[in-house]
Structure 1
C-alpha cells in the first residue's frame, strides 16, 4: 500500500494541469474529452476534472512520454507531493521517501529528487527539506529504538549517492558551470566526520563555476589555512554538525584568524545546526574580509547568489 492516501476528489486534476503534465496544449485535452477518448468528471461549477491515473494510462497508450510514468503505481503520490512541495510543504514528500526507503525502492528516491528539481523546487530547498531530513530520519529512528546504526549509515549513503550523481551529471551536461578562477577551500575541522552538509555547499559552488579544493572531514584547521594561502582562495567554508557545540566555531575562527593575511583576503563561511547563534557570539569577526554563519543551505545559496550578482561576479572585490 502507498504511504499517502487521497480523498476521492484530491486525485483529480484540471485540464490545464493535465496539459502541463503530459506536455500538450490544453485544447488537445479538451478535444480528447469531447471526443470521448479521455474520461472526465464535472465539478459543481461545470469544470472538467480528470483522474491522474487515467491520464497517465491514456498518455502511455498514445506513446506520449510523461516524466511521472517512471513512478508507476505512485504517479498520484508523486504529483500531489510535488505540488505540495512547491508551496513549501514537504511532509508528503518525506512520507513517500520514507516508505520507499523501507521497501528498498531507492531508485524512486533518486528519481524523485531529480523530478522535484525539474518541476521548479530549488536545489538548495531540496537539500534542506529533503536530503537533510533523509539523514536525520535514520538517526531519529535509531535513537527511538526503531532502527539501527546501519539504517542511519544507509540513509547517509543514499544522500551521498544523490549528491555525487548531481555533481557528475551536471558536469556531463554542462549545466550552468562557467570557467572561473574563483577558488574555495572546504573542510570539516577537527574531529568532525559528518560532511554531507559540506558536500551540498560544494555542489552549489561548483554549479556556479567555482573551483573547489575539497579537503573532506576531520581536517586540522591549520590545513584549511595552509590551503587558502597555497591557492589564494577567496573563500574558506567549514561545516560543523550538531554533535559539536558552538565552541567549535569559535576555535576554528580563532585558528584561522591567527593565520590570516590581508595580502590574501578571504571570506570565512561556517555552517551547521548551531551556526544560527550568529556572528555576534564570535571573536575575530573583523579579521576576515567577511564572516558568514549559516544553519541551512538556503541561507548560504541566497548569500552566494547575491554576491554573484555583484561586481564582476566576485566575492572579493
Structure 2
C-alpha cells in the first residue's frame, strides 16, 4: 500500500469528505484514470481499513464512517466525470446493466465502483445497492430487462446463496448476461457456485476490459450488417 493510499484511508476514517475528494480529484487532474483511483486508492484504502477492524484497531462505527465517506467521494467523482461526457456520448447509451449486492451483503462500495465503470463506458446503469432479496431482483429485471445483471458478494458465508441467484436469474425469459464480482475469487473456486454461462470478474480492470471487448464486437457486427 502506498503512502497516498494510507493518507486517503486516514481521511476516510476521519470522515473528511472535502480533503478525501480533493485527493482523488488531484489525481484525475494529474492524468491518472478513474480506474486507477478505484483500484489503487479507494479499494486498497478500504482493504486497509478492513484489516484495521480485524485487528481491533478501529471499531465498527469507524468502518461505517469510512464507508460513508468513500461513498460520498465516489458519488461526487461519478457526477463530475459524467459532466465530461459529450452530448453524443450521452445519446449513445443503448446497453443497460443492473447491479446489486445479494441479500445480507452490506459491502457495496465495490459494486458501486463497478457501476461507475459501466457509466464511464456509456451504459445505462441501474444501481440497486446492497442487500437485495432475490424476489426483488427478479421483479426489477423483468420490468427493466437489462442486458447484463451484475451482482456482488464480499463475505464468504454468503457464497452459499450464489447458486440460488444464478439459477433463478438464468430462468428469466429474455436471457440476460449474468456477471458476478467478488474479492473472494482468488480464495474460492467460483466455478462450483456459478454456471458456465456466468462471467466471473475479479477486479475493475478486468471489468473494463470486458466492456471494451464487447463494444468492439458490437461495432464489428454493425460493420458487417
After superposition, where does 1:208-287 map in structure 2 within 5 Å? 208-257=121-170, 259-261=171-173, 264-276=174-186, 277=188, 280-286=191-197
Deviation at 1:253, TM superposition (A): 1.0
Which residue of structure 2 aligns with residue 205 of structure 1? 118
Secondary structure at the aligned position of 1:187 is classed as strand
What is the TM-score when the length of structure 1 is the normalising length? 0.61
Which residue of structure 1 aligns with residue 63 of structure 2? 152
Secondary structure at the aligned position of 2:99 is classed as strand
* Distance in structure 2 (CA, Å) of the matches to 1:200 and 1:158: 14
Instruction: Flag the 1:121–1:299 CA change in 2: closer, same or farther, 3 A.
Output: same
The C-alpha deviation readout for 1:71-90, integer Å capped at 9, x for no partner, is xxxxxxxxxxxxxxxxxxx5
Larger helix percent: 2
Deviation at 1:237, TM superposition (A): 0.7
Secondary structure at the aligned position of 2:185 is classed as helix
Q: Which has the larger radius of gyration?
A: 1
Instruction: Flag the 1:106–1:254 CA change in 2: closer, same or farther, 3 A.
Output: same
Residues 1:297 and 2:208 aligned together: no
Instruction: Flag the 1:233–1:143 CA change in 2: closer, same or farther, 3 A.
Output: same
* Distance in structure 2 (CA, Å) of the matches to 1:155 and 1:130: 13
Match among 62, 78, 89 for residue 167 of structure 1: 78
| Cα pair 1:240 1:248 within 8 Å, conserved | no
Secondary structure at the aligned position of 1:185 is classed as strand
| Cα pair 2:105 2:131 within 8 Å, conserved | yes
Total equivalences in the alignment? 218
* Distance in structure 1 (CA, Å) of the matches to 2:69 and 2:175: 37
What is the TM-score when the length of structure 2 is the normalising length? 0.83
Residues 1:131 and 2:42 aligned together: yes
Residues 1:113 and 2:24 aligned together: yes
Which residue of structure 2 aligns with residue 92 of structure 1? 3
Q: Structure 1: where are the runs of 5+ without partners?
A: 1-89
Which residue of structure 2 aligns with residue 4 of structure 1? none
Match among 78, 82, 90 for residue 178 of structure 1: 90
Match among 192, 201, 223 for residue 105 of structure 2: 192
Secondary structure at the aligned position of 2:19 is classed as helix
Secondary structure at the aligned position of 2:5 is classed as helix
Deviation at 1:139, TM superposition (A): 2.5
Q: Structure 2: where are the runs of 5+ without partners?
A: none
Instruction: Flag the 1:312–1:134 CA change in 2: closer, same or farther, 3 A.
Output: same
Instruction: Flag the 1:242–1:118 CA change in 2: closer, same or farther, 3 A.
Output: farther
Relative contact order, higher structure (CA 8 A, sep 6+)? 2
* Distance in structure 2 (CA, Å) of the matches to 1:123 and 1:149: 28
Coordinate RMSD, CA, aligned: 2.6
* Distance in structure 2 (CA, Å) of the matches to 1:223 and 1:99: 37
* Distance in structure 1 (CA, Å) of the matches to 2:13 and 2:99: 33
Instruction: Flag the 1:283–1:255 CA change in 2: closer, same or farther, 3 A.
Output: same
